[in-house]
Structures are given as C-alpha cells and as structure tokens.
Amino acid sequence: MQSYEILREVFQVCPPKQLASDLGLSISMIYKWAEPPDEAHGSGSTNPLDRIDLLMQCTRDPRIVQWICERAGGFFIQNPKIRAPHPEFLIPATNQIVQEFADLLAVIATAASDNSISLKEAKSIRARWEELKCVTEGFVACCEEGNFDRMRTQALDVKK
C-alpha cells in the first residue's frame, strides 16, 4: 500500500479539516498528501509518511522507526534476511530461543529478589527483552520460511 493510500483511509476517520487545524497547515496541503505523486503535473505533495521513509533511507538508523513505534504504544522488530532453506538447524534454533527466554527470566528474578527493581535493573530487563523480541522474530520468520541457517549463524555469533 502506498503512503497516500494510507492517508486516504486515515482521512475517513480523522477529517482533513481537523488535521489542518491541529497541525497548523492549509487544508489544501493535507489533501495533497493523499494524492499520488505526479512529477509531470505537479500534483501531490511529499507527505509525512514519505518523508519518514526518506529519513530512514538516508540515515539507515532504526531508532527513528523504534521511536515512532514506541509513541504508538508498540515496538519495532526488523525482519531477518532469509537465505536458502536449511531445516536441519531447527533444534539449535529452538534451543537458542529457549535460552533467550531463560536469560530474561534470570535477569528478572535477580532484579526482583529484593522486592524492588532499580532503574539500572529495569534497563537491564528492557535490554534483554529487546534482544529476546529480535531473536524470537527471527525464529518465527525462519519457521515461516523453513530457513534456520540464519538462526545457526546468530547462535555462533552469540557464543563468540
């Protein structure tokens, strides 16, 4: 789906007039965001979604998307790059995901042992949780694609 198509759908829920008022922009600018880009006729306008996409392409910094996801109440997990299938690595991949869960539980148990969690402990829990989400997403993607070579490679990198 194109960004202008998403904005058209959003405008069904949040009227362009309201957006223009809230953002301090002209209503014509808001409507241009929902038009396809057309260099020949000059219609459409680079909308905020396309600008974020350009910012991501220029910086290649996933913290931008992570920040947006956090503002929306979620989180960003990057899709793993899938290569040729190697299903014989299912057992090591499963073991790695179980180990990641165990590591997170150990961090939580240690932090909670005194019935109090400090800011440093909370940051440690968050770091392990973020790592677990990434490893889990990689595992799920490998399951969907039948490719566990990437999981094997990650397991070897973790052991180094």
| pLDDT tens-digit map of 130-150 | 888 877 887 787 777 776 665
pLDDT band at 97 (very low <50, low <70, confident <90, very high): confident
| Whether residue 19 has pLDDT greater than 60 | yes
Q: Give the highest mean pLDDT range of 12-16, 38-42, 124-128.
A: 12-16
Mean pLDDT across the chain, nearest whole number?
Answer: 81
**Rounded to two decimals, what is the model's pTM?**
0.54
pLDDT band at 153 (very low <50, low <70, confident <90, very high): low
Report DSSP letters for the chain, one per residue: --HHHHHHHHHHHS-HHHHHHHHT--HHHHHHHTSPPBTTTTBS---HHHHHHHHHHHH--THHHHHHHHHTT----PPPPP-S--GGGHHHHHHHHHHHHHHHHHHHHHHHTTS---HHHHHHHHHHHHHHHHHHHHHHHHHHHT--HHHHHHHHHHH-
With beta carbons less than 8 A apart as the criterion, state whether 136 and 149 touch: no
